[in-house]
Amino acid sequence: MSLTLDDIKRVANLACIETSETEATNALIHLSDIFNLIEQMQAVDTSSVNPMSHSQDLVQRLRDDMVTESDQRELFQSIAPKTDSGLYLVPKVLE
Instruction: Point out which residues bind other proteins (CB under 8 A).
Output: 14-16, 52-56, 58-69, 71-73, 76-77, 82, 84-95
> Which CB, 22 or 85, lies closer to other proteins?
85
Q: What is the Rg, in whole angstroms, of the alpha carbon atoms belonging to the chain? A: 22
Q: How far is the CB of 38 from other proteins (least distance, A)?
A: 14
Closer residue to other proteins, CB minimum distance, 26 or 76: 76
**With contact defined as beta carbons under 8 Å apart, do 17 and 27 qualify?**
no
Gap between the Cα atoms of 60 and 50, Å rounded: 18
